[in-house]
Structure 1
């Protein structure tokens, strides 16, 4: 199968080398057998800079995957698509649904747009992006699988109630059916790459297990949303237990995991844990 390398290009924190910057967002590069796939593009301020520092030429990447339609995963699209060259983008069709956060402030609830800020026509015409919209589990490259819509079955993984879409002039909970992850077959076993895991990290693992027959996974990397809302609790404890049951040998958390959730994951997993900050890289 050959070696597989995953490098974090954008994340809330920067590890090294010097010159990297952190931003609230996520992007990772997958390299294997001559394939180069960019998973998410961060918020848009760090991608080009960090790619340059890490010696990654974005203009040579032919394939891009979007985990969902939030600004902190799609903001760097122009940098990833320039120069216009027909980059293939795999995503769920709901990435273009306008998305909002309803935040509580001293002045009352505040509606903030947090969706994809570029129009589809601009991306397809000016930047020549070629979208493939997927709702189902799909192999998008040899040994690389797009999750499609993830069933929400666990009783301990709960949605972020601040996240909304607009229907009939009213804000309603965003079901986030566009939340997608990747399964990558490697020489060390299956690796799961998460954007934000709004569907629930364990739901994602259960979905991949059902689709592939895998009973264990080698690694989980990326944003887990563990302990993000109000600190860790039942969801974090149950998720860590499920990670152990799936035999994970590496839990590398990023972005929306939250600092307290990440700290508790480190305490639990110890030498199986890593902070997947910008600049962090791992080879399987």
Structure 2
């Protein structure tokens, strides 16, 4: 399995654009897929530079209903005619971020909901023996950075539109999550109700909010690191974890935790 970071907040190469958002290209034995599409067409530009043919992608999973993960959907549809796009059934809702008391829309393009290639997913969905989607996560992860995210009625977002992906290949299970709004520890526990083990976890942990430049208190970050180091997977994080929180977690987790920037390639 090869995983290429197409879009992330930072970049490991001056040749590649970085933006606040996330997109991974993943090549497995049976699939060429995208997990998230970033905020716009940046994933396309970087894919071309990395010699990745987006027209050959057969599957797309969008982790949740925020535009920094699904804003590139229209660009993808215009450049690929074959892939099915799997989105949680609750993701096409009015979602907002609150900045200085003002609400800003950060949801998906509602006009795309009726596209014939979009598959609306319930709590669990098995695509095939390699790909399994789930959103049946118990518990929540109460953070200051989550509290600025709102749903259509003005209430704090409950993130029922967030889904995660397990890829199974060669007896290994890889868990991918977009922002872990429900809590990465909770998501990992839920994953282990569907498979016997998780070898690798990849995704953001939402310890940083771009709207107010806030990183979660060190106590929250360090407690999470201590909880994760007592589990079995290796972790690769990015995006909404934030660089400051990553460095604090790295001090505790050592080589069990690494960062994935735009252009980075991981072979599993």
Query: TM-score, normalised to structure 1's length?
Result: 0.85
TM superposition shift of 1:188: 6.8
- 1:1-284, aligned counterparts within 5 Å? 4-16=1-13, 18-83=14-79, 85-104=81-100, 109-120=101-112, 124=115, 129-152=116-139, 157-159=141-143, 160-167=146-153, 171-187=154-170, 189-214=172-197, 217-226=198-207, 228=209, 229-248=214-233, 250-284=234-268
- Bigger mean CA deviation after superposition, 68-77 or 176-185: 176-185
Structure 2 unaligned runs (5+)? none
Q: 1:234 to 1:184 in 2, by over 3 A?
A: farther
Comparing 230-239 with 39-48, greater Cα deviation is found at 230-239
The question of whether the paired residues in 2 share the 8 Å contact of 1:181 and 1:192 is answered with yes
- How many equivalent pairs are there? 262
CA change 1:195–1:94 in 2 (3 A) is same
CA distance in structure 2 between the partners assigned to 1:210 and 1:242 by the alignment: 18
Q: Relative to structure 1, is the Cα distance of residues 84 and 227 closer, same or farther in structure 2, using a 3 angstrom cutoff?
A: closer
Deviation at 1:224, TM superposition (A): 1.1
Question: Which stretch of the first structure deviates more once superposed, 82-91 or 224-233?
Answer: 224-233
| Structure index of larger Rg | 1
Q: Deviations over 1:255-274 (max 9, x none)?
A: 00012111112222222332
Does the CA contact (< 8 Å) of 2:29 and 2:169 recur in 1? no
* Cα gap change, 1:51 to 1:93, in 2 (>3 Å): same
- C-alpha separation in 2, matches of 1:191 and 1:268: 22
CA contact (8 A) 1:196 1:225 kept: yes
CA distance in 1, matches of 2:45, 2:99: 31
For residue 194 of structure 2, give the secondary structure of its aligned residue in structure 1.
helix
In 1: Cα distance, 2:220 partner to 2:87 partner: 27
Distance 1:149 1:245 in 2: 23
- Superposed CA RMSD in Å reads 1.9
CA separation of 1:245/1:195 partners in 2, compared to 1, >3 Å: closer, same or farther?
same
